[in-house]
Amino acid sequence: MPDTTARPARKAGTVPSGSDAAAGRGRGRRFAALVRREAPRTAIAVLGGLVLALAFPPYDLWPLSLVGVAALGLLTRGRTARQGAWTGFAFGLPFFFLLLKWLHVVGWDAVFGLALVQALYVALLGAGLARTSRLKYGPVWAACLWVTEEWARDRVPFGGFPWGRLAFANTGSPFTPLAALGGAPLVTFAVALSGSLLAAAAVALWRLRGKGRSVRAALPAVEAVGLAAAVSVSGLLVPVHTDADDRVDIAVVQGNVQKPGMDFLGRPMKILDNHATATEKLAADVKAGKAKKPDLVIWPENASDLDPFRYPQAYDRIEAAVKSIGVPVLVGALVDHPDKPGYVFNQGIVWDPVKGPGASYTKQHPVPFGEYVPFREQLSKVITRFQRVPRDFYPGAHTGVLAVGPARLGDVICFEVAYDEIVHDTVNAGARALVVQTNNATYGRTGQPEQQLAMSKLRAVEHGRAVVTAATSGISAVVAPDGTVTHKIPEFTQGVLRASLPLRDEKTVADRVGAVPEWVLAIVGLLSCVAAAVVGRRGRGKDEKGQQ
């Protein structure tokens, strides 16, 4: 039967449909060719990102951080900025996905979403590496660009997310002592420089194919490997001062939780009762002569799951436990904001057995989408999971230097240990040792507690201070000023950790210079990209003149 359906008349001047189809097929063929050409490099980039993730806890294969850096450098070498950006993205997405898989307790979409955002920074890094790979002294600029990438990622958006810094994979490597000179940024720079030098050595060896095996021809590769080795062991020349000016006997209480995951709180008062009971058991052991009485006791973040100033039963339970041990206790508690309904403080409170609650520290850097929801009204309509964060944490406005009994301790709460400036300011404000009150119960047995403990190890060396990690469910630990873990309680175990904590007043070079090394290295990284653009433009100009 003939088709009688009316067809619209073709407008004058339009390209015939056959030409449209041909153009579409042409674009399709070009895209397919592009995919085939880039597929091997992209696959290697994905593998390189996974290799870099294995350098971090809980795997702790730190030499792989050099391999990861070298891989990204080789894959972006001589490429255009656009090609380098794609390679960086293909490298960054699997890296962060594996590194942050502990977020799967919230949802695998959360893992992918955060990994995607973080990978965009690595895409920019890839573009920068591609542009600067043609410059002389390329490994230096590449190392600076790694610092630039971390500098940006540590700050934006919403105060940044520092997870995945090269320094945090090297908290027990020859690079670690460099933290005492320039903090985490200097460690990252040294790791990136060594990895980039290894990439340069690989390029030099590749160029020897089919050539004579003379010593002179192999000299560039030998020099690059030698420089990489020198940078790698340079940290061993940095003195790490650990002598204590004073000591204090501490007890860290890990009360444990009912179950891991999003619903770790269980019934009200349960977590508080766990910590109070463990403290009372310690008091009984002291009274019976089975244990030495500590000078102070440390409870973790959220040890009181109810506001003790609003709920008398919580106040009385803390009061009874503190009086039983008879020494000041640093209590982690959630406290309602007195003037802003719907807001809460995440605090460490010094609770004296005679005077009761006194000085406190409020967490300065709440975690976005975990402890507060940006654009709550709009996003909660789209992502109903945000309704599980019913109240926003209100940020504190000062550092956490607290007199807890005879010790002047610097309180840092949970994720704050990842942020350079918070820990730096706390030490410079007079902290003689650091306390990281944390609640990792949501992410128990996922690798996240190990990653956070690694940060405490780096901070110990960076600031020459002992670091106490007090966790509700683990890992509670004491880290000596040289970065070694001296005491530890496993995850999901109720226990009391007792230790003689060294107190120190001497400041490291990193304490004195602060963020200066990071800013200098980051700016040099940016300027290297500008220089590469100028050199490239001049090169194109000369080519055009030569053709004329």
- Active-site amino acid positions: 301, 363, 414
How many Å apart are CA 137 and CA 452, to the nearest integer?
A: 35
In angstroms, rounded to a whole number, what is the distance separating the alpha carbons of residues 192 and 112? Answer: 26
Contact between 253 and 275 (Cβ < 8 Å): yes
For residue 49, what are its two tokens?
């990102």
- DSSP designation for 394: P
Distance (Å, whole) CA 442 – CA 22: 56
User: Token pair for residue 519?
Assistant: 């800013």
Alpha carbon distance 353, 296 (integer Å): 11
Instruction: Give the SS3 label for residue 289.
Output: coil
Q: Look at the alpha carbons of 452, 454, 455, 459 in this order and tell me if their dihedral is positive or negative.
A: positive
Write down the residue that tokens 């040890």 correspond to. 303
* Residue spans of alpha helices (H) in 134-256: 138-153, 179-206, 215-233
- Nearest Cα residue to 144 out of 194, 193, 182: 193
Which residues touch 535 (CB under 8 Å, ≥6 apart)?
Answer: 134, 135
Q: How far apart are alpha carbons 293 and 283 in whole angstroms?
A: 8
DSSP string, 468-526: EEEESSS-EEEE-TTS-EEEEE-TT--EEEEEEEEE--PPPHHHHHTTHHHHHHHHHHH
Question: Residue holding tokens 């106490």?
Answer: 468
Single-letter amino acid code for the residue at 215 = V
Half-sphere exposure (Cβ direction) of 491: Cα atoms closer than 13 Å:
16
Interior CA angle at 108 toward 102 and 113, to 5°? 95
Tell which residue, 323, 394, 310, 396, has the closest CA to residue 359.
396
Single out the residue of 193, 187, 163, 185 nearest to residue 173, CA to CA. 187
Give the separation between CA 313 and CA 305, rounded to whole angstroms.
Answer: 12
Residue bearing tokens 């975690």: 367
Whole-angstrom Cα distance, residue 268 to residue 261?
16
**What is each CA distance from 523 to 20, 184, 239, in whole angstroms?**
48, 16, 28
* 384: helix, strand or coil: helix
Backbone angles phi, psi at 147, to 5 degrees: -65, -40
Long-range pairs for 216-224: beta carbons < 8 A, 24 or more residues apart: 224/139, 224/197, 224/198, 224/200
346 DSSP β-pair partners: 334
Q: Report whether 385 contacts 107 (CB < 8 A).
A: yes
